[in-house]
A and B are shown apart, each in its own frame.
Chain A
């Protein structure tokens, strides 16, 4: 957590008050929540009324996906189709698949190219073929594994033409690239606290006021009657502080991170000449994604971990077994190649020393991991 955000978090956590209570302590908490809402709205280019606080990005995505589907279903039962992409985060893909399995939704996934980017044409094609059936569309702002930034504003324009509600999962982009809800033209957008130096356990669905959403959680109706649950005032306040700071520092962080990414890519390609770098020209600054053909991602992770360098492979299944990344598979990579890939994340606190450390060990790590082989 950013020190400034932590300070706010600690101050609020030490204070009594439920933002829904009418007494003095409650009113004080409510004030903090509403100021935070305004601060966050400014940081993200939205109106305060458009911010719905949730307890995680996953919850916000589920609220968007199921909430929009259920709402349109009630008004228009023949709209059972959903348009998305195959590279979404599991917090989108899994609820989509759940709707397909349990509620007879049909999914149309717009293909991505080999650098992991979909096109407005691919989405437009689905809209033109299935426009009458489509309940809503959701396309991530940028991919969390390879960093590929998607043409979300362009897709939003097409969605408006077809009058299809459109959501974007912007968890990965927020605080990394400039993000303006109103200018983007989407109907709903997910952002999360811990990705920007805020606390874990707080996120928001930014949603236009006229967007119909059926609630997932019923109870006190705290957030626009769409989301119930006692508001986590300390987390919300710290989230807003982190959002404000990340916007202020966007340009300088961007330059710092971009430079370190270049340094890492140059260093690794020099140490391991046959490595390949995934993601196209337009990627997030803080993600460097590599394929080491002939090595298992989990062996690379283990060996780097032992050297104090932390990287990620794709996601793990419920048994904790590393799975070939669905993102790389959708980008046309063979399962074997997908299993041979790892991701480095670079943030504002990453130093040149960290990058040099990774570069200095990668040669031997790659050799050992390759000796261990790939299935």
Chain B
């Protein structure tokens, strides 16, 4: 096979590229330049798109012995991921940019370009497994559950999955570091990247305020009584308890949580933990990362956060929307997050949550 190995400059993608090359495929390493104005050096464990990272990726490609190029995907990334992130937040939703990046950049723009140029697949350092079956490729959780990234890959279609290689799915992270060390990669001990790569400071709220403004609004209870003020509703997330700065204590003296974020009229609604309980979740924009389930009800597991628990549920597919009824309620769920349905270890489908009860 002819394979494009996407190399971020981190440990995982370097080992992934090495494994694909070693398996005898014709591999070229590609570093995606996602920022039109990259920082020169990494600061701390955040971000992945500095010039230093592209240098690290190049050095790993040298050691593997594969050609290495940089592809400019800054425009696509800005439109498909950063703008989407901003518009979702300004609509009161909590988006997951990693998931969008997989959907729009790595396995869309990059895979499309790779295929047009005669390449068969894009290999990444994601922790997940692709298993091929008679009904096409299917997505499974990685063996290392603490690193499993199937949640952010469940937006891929079967066609995208057919062009994806995840060479790390069968290995735990600590072994990947050892392997990187053994292969002589200088980046073997590089810290894992956390947070959002285009918010290098890690200050998500500050980053949003810089771009969406910090208009003061009210924090109210369900009855509409004003309890305090905020500087930009979108910096709050459903389920959040800390940092509300409420001046009037609750009558029962119990903690209050964000129940809803209402961009119009720039209001944050708070209430008790019980008010956060959710058993029914529904979403649109459904993606099947394996065979499409028959219309009707099925048993499965629902996951609503990248590293959240898989919750037993009954899920319904009506041909347009994907919904789940949880066996046990969940506390705090922000719209905009992805609902991913699993059957045991297999990721079945994903949807963008737009309704909860």
Contact = CB atoms under 8 A, between A and B. Distances in A.
A319 B118 contact: no
A375 B76 CA distance: 10
B51 A375 contact: no
A301 B30 CA distance: 13
A372 B113 contact: yes
Nearest to B71: A298
Given A299-B117, A372-B113, A306 B33 contact: no
B43 to A, nearest CB: 16
Interface in A283-312: 298-299, 301-303, 305-306
A259 B70 CA distance: 34
A368 B116 contact: yes
Contacts of A375: 75
Nearest to B38: A319
A319 B54 contact: yes
Interface in A84-141: none
Contact of B72 (A303, A322, A368): A322
Contacts of A299: 113, 117
Contacts of A305: 67
B33 A319 contact: yes
B28 interface: yes
A299 B40 CA distance: 25
Q: Give the dominant DSSP class at A's interface.
A: helix
A76 to B, nearest CB: 38
A371 B118 CA distance: 10
A373 B113 contact: yes
Nearest to B67: A305
A234 B113 CA distance: 47
Q: Give the dominant DSSP class at B's interface.
A: mixed
Contacts of A319: 33, 38, 51, 54, 70
B116 A373 contact: yes
Contact of B33 (A301, A303, A321, A372): A321
A371 B116 contact: yes
Contacts of B51: 318-320
B69 interface: yes
Contacts of B67: 302, 305-306
Nearest to A369: B117
B31 interface: yes
A304 to B, nearest CB: 11
Interface in A312-340: 316, 318-322
* Most chain A beta carbons < 10 A, residue from B38, B58, B72, B112: B72
Contacts of B117: 299, 302-303, 368-369, 371-372
Size bracket of the B interface: 20 to 34
A320 B33 contact: yes
Interface string A160-176: 00000000000000000
A368 B119 CA distance: 10
Size bracket of the A interface: 10 to 19
A322 B33 CA distance: 11
Nearest to A303: B117
A238 to B, nearest CB: 28
* Most chain B beta carbons < 10 A, residue from A301, A302, A369: A302
A180 B274 CA distance: 89
A244 to B, nearest CB: 37
Contacts of B69: 298, 301-302
Contacts of A320: 31, 33, 51, 54, 58, 70
Interface in A69-85: none
A293 to B, nearest CB: 16
Interface in A155-212: none
Interface in B53-79: 54, 58, 67, 69-72, 74-75
Interface in B31-52: 31, 33, 38, 40, 51
A223 to B, nearest CB: 33
Contacts of B54: 319-320
Contacts of B38: 319
A101 to B, nearest CB: 18
Contacts of A321: 33, 70, 72, 74
A316 B31 CA distance: 14
Nearest to A372: B116
Nearest to A302: B69
* Most chain B beta carbons < 10 A, residue from A305, A318, A320: A320
A302 B33 contact: no
Nearest to B4: A302
Contacts of B74: 321
Given A298-B71, A306-B67, 16 more contacts: A298-B69, A302-B28, A302-B69, A306-B28, A316-B70, A319-B33, A319-B38, A319-B54, A319-B70, A320-B54, A322-B72, A372-B112, A372-B113, A372-B117, A373-B113, A373-B116
Across the A-B interface, the 8 shortest Cβ-Cβ residue pairs: A371-B116, A372-B116, A320-B70, A321-B72, A372-B113, A321-B33, A319-B38, A372-B117
19 contacts: A299-B117, A302-B28, A302-B69, A303-B117, A306-B28, A318-B40, A319-B33, A320-B51, A320-B70, A321-B33, A321-B70, A321-B74, A322-B70, A322-B72, A368-B116, A368-B117, A368-B118, A369-B117, A372-B116
